[in-house]
């Protein structure tokens, strides 16, 4: 392994330093001297005694167990892929897709229904994440799917679900996406859905609204839906399932289906505009509508992506299948068959329990697994890491010019997608993380890949200095006011976590603080720091994730650990450590009124992020770090794994959450191995961008 830090490391034989207590919840050190006094108060005798029992031997055994567990899960061709779990919406939608098409695999349906019953909450509904409260939209879809699967409305679990849904206003209050499904099944009139004419496909780039001005995930979801909304097909629904009992009032009698998604004046304006377009849409020329549908179909087929599907995410795949079906494609048509096959590729489970994943995450999983294993610094792992990174290098998108080029037409491709294949939609987060791993392991071996990645990443920087996930300058915030955007995630603006990843990559490649991209990124990150010292985590939950990401980048680019922005972040992390030594953050922290970085539990992956962030800020000797390490060691089972039922990632804040089953496999290992390295080496500084 080509490792710049190896010559500076000593064998892991030194015992861990004694640990102290955590920072009290409401204590903030206001200066470096104050922080020293603050630390001194933490060193209680009880904690010192407890920490003394944690030896380097125990740390080494924990690392070894975690390594064995992780390596055992590597695929033959070198990659890793873990389950990626969302909420009940995905398996429920899979069941309803079968009923829409009229082709029902009863065994699949039975197993998917088992998952839905098992994930029903104590309140009768279905949450967006483990331990969460009922979400109305997820509950409506789950109830509908279970009824379609044969569950009778008078069974206790269905009665509880129905009562919970009705108590919250009924299916009328469900999201736009759920109402589209209900309209396809004839459960609500099409006026329950905000108007989005398929003629959108024909709008010129200069028009205020254009597909290229919304996020990739919105784009691939919307295009096949535009065809469905134009043609208004009816689900075959061979069993004639209806959910009229979920409505407080008959859907036909509702007159105010379309309401402003926000309280802004523009939301009210767009709601009025929705009504006007609805009145004139029947008079749109038929020839122009046919042209728009043809263009939508071309958009989809050009990005069909083989067995990986449109956008490589389930909702657009399902919409594509329904679009081909309503256009009269035969099930054995190659495009139809590929689209349907892509949905089945997302099914996972065992025995009687099955669920549908929102997408697959092999590039992300493999890259992060490699980072964790490289941190172990064991030559015996080099063959596994090399196979993995050769696989990653082979997934780089070098020839396909994706949708991102609408904003950056002169830029050559050079990024990585999240999934097995998704060449039109590489993302900056995966690209930076992959580049960091390739460079750390063997920069010369992967020189061409690194050069192209750096070129693409620098070119994708937004004008405000930050990086978004998939596009540049995707900041048309006005669009969040249109009625169709009730999920609040129509856009892909730059965020602190992705910006930090890109900055860390450039820093590791040798870009200095005087480079224009670095100057702009640092200014963006300093502007984005929250008043409490943390940073928002767009793709990981939440402020713990964002703060770790930025502290890692600041360290890589050479920001002094004593800088005010770093000290504030350190103090914030210290103040949120739990009494068991861990950290945790609820998915509810994406709501504005919920305190940042809080949870009634500790989670292994979130603890690892906090520890990695503190170590990046020069806090490896802080007693809080030692206590966090002890928490991870104590929480590991004999098979080298950590139990983590919590959803520690997010697709769309407040709407769609994710549980990466791999996070508990590689992040705790990463933190333990890094702690061992910095505790026993000649330098406490982390030499890598992540």
Cα separation, 119 vs 125, whole angstroms:
9
For residues 99-138, b (16+ Cβ closer than 10 Å) or e, as one string?
bbbeebeeebbebbbbbbeebbbebbbbbbbbebebbbbb
DSSP states of 86-122:
--THHHHHHHHHHHHHT---HHHHHHHHHHHHHT--T
Neighbours of 4 (CB within 10 A): 12
429 is catalytic: yes
Cα separation, 440 vs 388, whole angstroms:
13
3-state secondary structure 596-625: CCCCCCCCHHHHHHHHHHHHHCCCCCCHHH
Show Cβ contacts of residue 353 under 8 Å, excluding neighbours closer than 6 positions. Answer: 111, 114, 115, 118
Number of H helices, E strands in the chain: 24, 5
Cα separation, 535 vs 495, whole angstroms:
9
Burial label for 425, CB within 10 Å (0-12, 13-18, 19+), is buried
Tell me the two tokens of residue 478.
């006005």
Q: Given the residues 274, 365, 377, 429, select the one marked as catalytic.
A: 429
Burial label for 400, CB within 10 Å (0-12, 13-18, 19+), is middle
Pairing, β 347-350 against β 649-652: unpaired
Pairing, β 84-85 against β 347-350: unpaired
Residue bearing tokens 């269905």? 158
449 has which bridge partners? none
Tell me the two tokens of residue 529.
């720091």
C-alpha Rg value of the chain to the nearest Å: 26
Cα separation, 23 vs 665, whole angstroms:
27
Catalytic positions are: 429
């Amino acid at each position: 392994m080509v490792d710049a830090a190896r010559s500076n490391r000593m064998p892991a034989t030194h015992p861990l330093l004694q640990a102290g207590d955590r920072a009290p919840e409401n204590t903030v050190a206001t200066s470096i001297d104050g922080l020293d006094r603050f630390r001194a108060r933490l060193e209680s005798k009880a904690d010192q005694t407890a920490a003394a029992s944690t030896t380097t031997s125990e740390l080494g055994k924990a690392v070894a167990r975690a390594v064995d567990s992780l390596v055992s899960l590597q695929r033959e061709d070198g990659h890793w892929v873990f389950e990626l779990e969302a909420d009940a919406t995905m398996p429920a939608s899979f069941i309803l897709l079968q009923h829409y098409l009229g082709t029902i695999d009863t065994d699949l349906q039975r197993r998917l229904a088992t998952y839905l019953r098992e994930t029903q909450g104590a309140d009768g509904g279905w949450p967006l994440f483990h331990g969460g409260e009922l979400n109305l939209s997820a509950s409506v879809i789950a109830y509908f799917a279970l009824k379609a699967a044969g569950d009778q409305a008078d069974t206790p679990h269905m009665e509880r679900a129905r009562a919970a849904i009705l108590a919250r206003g009924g299916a009328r209050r469900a999201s736009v996406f759920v109402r589209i499904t209900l309209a396809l099944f004839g459960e609500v009139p099409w006026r329950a859905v905000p108007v989005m004419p398929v003629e959108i496909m024909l709008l010129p780039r200069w028009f205020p609204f254009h597909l290229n001005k919304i996020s990739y995930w919105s784009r691939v979801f919307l295009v096949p839906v535009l065809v469905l909304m134009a043609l208004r097909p009816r689900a075959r629904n061979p069993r004639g399932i209806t959910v009229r009992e979920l409505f407080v009032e008959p859907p036909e009698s509702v007159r105010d289906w379309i309401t402003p998604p926000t309280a802004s004046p523009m939301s009210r304006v767009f709601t009025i505009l929705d009504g006007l377009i609805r009145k004139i849409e029947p008079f749109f020329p038929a020839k122009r509508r046919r042209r728009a549908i043809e263009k939508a179909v071309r958009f989809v087929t050009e990005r069909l992506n083989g067995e990986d599907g449109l956008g490589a995410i389930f909702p657009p795949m399902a919409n594509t299948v329904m679009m081909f079906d309503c256009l009269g494609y035969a099930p054995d048509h190659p495009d139809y068959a590929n689209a349907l096959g892509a949905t089945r590729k997302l099914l996972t489970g065992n025995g009687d329990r099955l669920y549908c994943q929102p997408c697959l995450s092999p590039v992300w999983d493999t890259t992060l697994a490699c980072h964790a294993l490289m941190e172990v610094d064991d030559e015996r792992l080099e063959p596994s890491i090399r196979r993995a990174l050769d696989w990653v290098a082979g997934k780089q998108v070098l020839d396909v010019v994706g949708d991102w080029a609408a904003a950056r037409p002169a830029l050559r491709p050079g990024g990585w997608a999240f999934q097995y294949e998704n060449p039109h939609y590489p993302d900056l987060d995966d690209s930076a993380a992959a580049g960091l791993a390739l460079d750390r392991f063997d920069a010369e071996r992967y020189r061409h890949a690194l050069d192209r990645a750096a070129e693409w990443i620098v070119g994708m920087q937004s004008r405000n200095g930050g990086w978004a996930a998939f596009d540049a300058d995707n900041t048309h915030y006005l669009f969040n006011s249109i009625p169709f955007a009730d999920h609040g995630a129509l856009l892909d603006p730059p965020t602190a976590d992705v910006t930090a990843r890109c900055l860390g990559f450039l820093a590791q490649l040798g870009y200095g603080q005087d480079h224009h991209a670095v100057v702009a990124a640092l200014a963006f990150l300093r502007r984005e720091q929250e008043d409490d010292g943390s940073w928002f985590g767009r793709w990981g939950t939440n402020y713990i994730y964002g703060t770790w990401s930025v502290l890692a980048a600041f360290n890589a680019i050479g920001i002094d650990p004593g800088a005010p922005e770093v000290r504030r972040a350190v103090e914030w992390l210290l103040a949120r450590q739990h009494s068991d030594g861990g950290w945790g953050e609820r998915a509810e922290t994406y709501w504005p009124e919920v305190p940042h970085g809080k949870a009634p539990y500790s989670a292994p992956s979130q603890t690892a992020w906090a520890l990695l962030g503190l170590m990046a800020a020069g806090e490896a000797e802080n007693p809080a770090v030692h206590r966090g390490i002890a928490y991870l060691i104590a929480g590991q089972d004999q098979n080298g794994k950590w139990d983590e039922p919590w959803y520690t990632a997010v697709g769309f804040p407040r709407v769609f959450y994710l549980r990466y089953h791999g996070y508990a496999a590689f992040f705790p290992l990463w933190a333990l191995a890094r702690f061992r390295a910095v505790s026993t080496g000649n330098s406490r500084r982390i030499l890598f961008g992540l």
